[in-house]
Amino acid sequence: MSAETQQPLSPTTGEPISTIGRRARAGLWTLIVMDAAGTIAIIIAYSYLWSLNVNAGWAPPGAALTGSETDQSLPSSPPKASFAVEWPFWAILGLVILSTLAMWFGYKELKRGNRAGMIVGTGAALVIAVFTLIAQWIQISTFPFAAGDGAYASAVLLLCASNIFNLIILIFLQLGMLIRTNKGLVTKAVFYQPQILSYWMVWLCIAFLLGAICTTFMVESPNVNPAIFGTFDQQS
């Protein structure tokens, strides 16, 4: 260990860990910018298509017939496509927030020197993240529409696919954090990795929140008389 500072040094470059941590945090900000741009791309797709309602194709076919207008007279009529139920998006967001809180708890315990607390927190965060992944998968497989059912369906499925992707990466990172803490590679002195993971999870909460806002507040398109494809007339 260096005589001037009591902090550990990086084995590969010999630099103090605080320098490595600073670099990692800077890297995290740039990664968040990149992921935010991707998230905004999805949000743009969702909201732009919602506002345009091209050829009246925003809503899944038959969506206007959900609820009391559904034709009940034929017992064997096929299920009609419709907009997704809204509460699962918020439930999944809630799970992500819970996982983030658990992670933060673990990270704070680590900074206090309590390694067991870090393992408990990270472990809980990991378990919750796995639950979230399963929940997201269940939500996708029970949507009342498929990929080919119009622009809304496409946008929602892309949003959920992005969520799944983020959750898989998150589980990988949390698992690694758990294993490494166990092995003593993550300690009170070498804390920068749980630190940036905790920051990253806050960003994930924001990303999931944006998706939930879209699917709750931008459902029916405001454009009620779009042009009919290939003609010069409009839907009445």
Partner 1 sequence: MSTETITPTSTVFGAEVPQPKQHGKPGGIMRRLNLGTALIGGVGLAAISGFVANALIPAGASTVTFAPVAPDVVYLAILVGWTIGFSAGIGAFVGPIRWLFGRDLTHADAEYMAGKDLGVKRYFKFTTDHKVVGVQYLVVTMFILGFGGLLAMLIRTELGVTWSEVFSPGFYNSMIGTHGIAMIIAMIVSVMGPIANFIMPLMIGARDMAFPRLNALSLWLLVVAAAALVSTLFTGGIQDGWSVYQPLASQGPPAMLGYQMTIIVFAISTGVASVNLMVTALTMRAKGMTWSRTPIFVYGVFGAALMGLYAFPFFQYSQIMALTDRIWNTSFFNPLQGGSVWLYENLFWLLGHPEVYVIIIPGTVVLFEVMPVFLRKPLFSFNFAVAGIVGVVALSGLVWAHHMYMTGWAPAANYPFMLSTEMISIPVGFLVLVVIGTMWRGLVWTRLPIMAVYAVIFNKMIGGVTGIYLSDVPVDQYMHGTMFVVAHFHYMLMGAGLFGAMAGLAFYFPKMTGRVLDERTASIGFWTAFTGFQITFMAMFVAGLQGMPRRVLQFDSLFNAPNWISTIGAYIIGLGMLIFAGAVISSWTSGDKAPANPFGSKSLEWQTPTPVPLENFEVLPVVTQKPYSYGVVDPYQKEMDAADGDLDTQKVGSNQ
Partner 2 sequence: MDTRPTGPPDEPEEPTNRPPSMHRVKMWLRRPYAKGIVALTVIIGVLLLPMAWIILIPMQATGAPASEIMAGIEQTIFVFTIVSIPIVAFVYAVLVYSLLKWRKHKGDSIPEDESPAIRTNTIGVALWTGVSSVLAFFLVVWGLIELAQITSNSYGTISADQQPGDEQSVIVNVTGQQWIWTFEYPQHDGVTTEVLYLPKDRPVYFNVTSKDVIHNFWLVELGVKIDANPGAITQTGVTPNKLGSFNLRCAELCGMHHAYMETSIEVVEGETFASVMRELGGGRTS
Under 8 Å CB-to-CB from 41, ≥6 apart: which residues?
Answer: none
Name, in order, each residue with C-beta under 8 angstroms of 190's C-beta and a sequence gap of 6 or more.
Answer: 8, 17
Provide the token pair at 190. 């070498």
Residue 26 CA: distances (Å) to CA of 34, 37, 150, 151, 202: 13, 17, 40, 37, 16
Question: Considering the complex, what minimum distance in angstroms separates the CB of residue 155 from partner 2?
Answer: 16
206 near partner 1 (CB under 8 A): no
Give the shortest CB-75-to-partner 1 separation in angstroms: 29
Q: Out of partner 1, partner 2, none, which partner does residue 148 contact, by CB within 5 to 8 A per kind? A: partner 1
Among 5, 7, 13, 133, the residue binding partner 1 under the rule CB under 8 A is: 13
Cβ proximity of 189 and 7 under 8 Å: yes
Query: Quick check: 104 binds partner 1 (CB under 8 A)?
Result: no
Least spacing, CB of residue 46 vs partner 2, in Å:
18
Nearer to partner 1, 52 or 164 (CB): 52
Strand partners, 234: 227
Q: Which does 64 bind (CB under 5 to 8 A by kind): partner 1, partner 2, none?
A: none
Geometric angle at alpha carbon 133, from 114 and 151, rounded to 5°: 140
Window of 127-135, 136-144, 178-186, 200-208 that interacts with partner 1 by CB under 8 A: 178-186
Q: Is 9 in the site for partner 1 (CB under 8 A)?
A: yes
58: closest CA among 234, 222, 236?
A: 222
26 binds, among partner 2, partner 1, none (CB under 5 to 8 A by kind): partner 1
